[in-house]
Every structure is written in structure tokens, then in C-alpha cells.
């Protein structure tokens, strides 16, 4: 019997896409004039921001990035292993650059400080959590932040207040403090005590 050549049941172009696509590609839309609610987590959810020193450095860099990128900062909260920001990037498409700048600068400095303080058991423990497995190909052997961040378009006043309340109550919900005002690493004090000693927010009203 004549042998028939084996045929691909998929068109070549489709098969190539299936084989080459290692992870889904997400196309994010940043609408002009809308606020962006940003969430980013620490790699392996390590609670590195239990350190007040690292929290203070994060605040410094957040202020620096805001000035450099000319974005409005409406609200924020820094938790032990993640942060939320409510921003108005200008232009809206600069949102990924704002997040990239903040994450890169904080990662570089914090990893450096951890390496310089290996005589502390806590620093050694954090570095061990941040060490990348051999299967991960990266320029560095350590990672502070997860690569992805999660943006959410905030397009109404109701949503703006909802996100601010969510951020301010996050430490209470987690059981870290009994009242939002007891957590220094958020915008609650600015809005309710007119306290800008940590960070001044950009009011929209």
C-alpha cells in the first residue's frame, strides 16, 4: 500500500502559535483621565515589610517616583507582603513605567541591605525566600517582587471611595491593628487627621 504523508490536523500558523505560546498575553487598557488601582505582591509572599526601615525606604521611593513620573497619588497602603496604590498616571499609558520604576528601585536597595546584614537571622531568612530556584532563568539570583502587577480602572467617585476604604481597612482586616489610624503605612492619616508627615496625597476635590 502506498504510504501517505502524515499531515498536521492544524494549519501551520495555528500550530506554531500553540507551541510557541508559553504564557497568555494580557492586553491592558489604560483609559485617559481614569485612576488606576494597582496591586503588587512580594515574591513568595515574604513579609519583608514587617521591617519599619524597609517601609520607610518604600515611602521615600514612592515619593521620588511620583515626582519623577508626574503622576498623582490618591491613596496607598503598604502591607507586610504587598501594596496597593491609587494613582492617576499622566499619561495613562505610563502606568507600567510607574510601577516598574518603583519596583526596580525598591528591590535593588532592599536586597542590597539584606545582603549587608546577613549576621541577622531575619535577613538571612528573607534572602532565602527571595532566592530563585535553578529552573528560573533570570539576570539575578534573587527577586523581591512578583513580576506581574494587577491594575484596575477606577472610573467613578463611588469606586474611588471604595478603593480608599479597602486600602485603609486592609491592616484591620488582617488583624495587624485594631484601627486604621494605628497603621502608619497608608493614606488614612492624611485624609482623616490631615497628617502629611509620611506622604502627602493629591486631592481630587
Confidence of residue 33 (pLDDT cuts 50, 70, 90): confident
Question: What pLDDT does residue 10 have?
Answer: 40
- The stretch 155-181 carries a mean pLDDT of 97
- CATH number listed for the domain at residues 30-193: 3.30.70.1290
The domain ranges of the chain are 30-193
Confidence of residue 137 (pLDDT cuts 50, 70, 90): low
68-125 pLDDT, tens digit per residue, is 999 999 999 999 999 999 999 989 899 999 999 999 999 999 999 999 999 999 999 9
- The overall average pLDDT reported for the chain is 88
pLDDT tops 50 at residue 162: yes
Whole-model pTM? 0.84
Question: What pLDDT does residue 29 have?
Answer: 75
Nine cell digits for residue 161: 471611595
Amino acid at each position: 500500500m502506498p504510504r501517505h504523508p502524515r499531515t498536521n490536523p492544524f494549519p501551520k500558523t495555528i500550530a506554531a502559535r500553540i507551541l510557541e505560546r508559553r504564557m497568555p498575553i494580557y492586553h491592558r487598557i489604560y483609559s485617559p483621565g481614569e485612576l488606576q488601582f494597582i496591586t503588587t505582591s512580594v515574591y513568595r509572599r515574604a513579609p519583608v515589610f514587617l521591617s519599619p526601615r524597609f517601609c520607610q525606604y518604600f515611602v521615600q521611593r514612592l515619593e521620588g517616583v511620583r515626582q519623577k513620573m508626574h503622576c498623582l497619588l490618591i491613596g496607598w497602603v503598604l502591607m507586610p507582603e504587598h501594596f496597593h496604590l491609587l494613582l492617576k498616571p499622566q499619561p495613562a499609558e505610563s502606568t507600567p513605567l510607574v510601577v516598574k520604576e518603583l519596583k526596580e528601585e525598591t528591590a535593588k536597595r532592599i536586597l542590597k541591605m539584606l545582603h549587608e546584614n546577613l549576621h541577622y537571622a531575619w535577613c538571612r531568612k528573607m534572602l532565602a525566600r527571595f532566592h530563585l530556584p535553578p529552573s528560573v532563568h533570570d539576570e539575578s539570583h534573587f527577586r523581591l517582587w512578583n513580576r506581574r502587577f494587577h491594575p484596575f480602572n477606577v472610573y467613578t467617585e463611588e469606586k474611588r471611595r471604595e478603593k480608599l476604604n479597602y486600602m485603609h481597612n486592609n491592616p484591620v482586616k488582617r488583624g495587624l491593628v485594631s484601627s486604621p489610624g494605628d497603621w502608619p503605612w497608608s493614606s488614612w492619616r492624611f485624609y482623616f487627621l490631615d497628617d502629611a508627615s509620611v506622604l502627602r496625597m493629591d486631592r481630587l476635590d
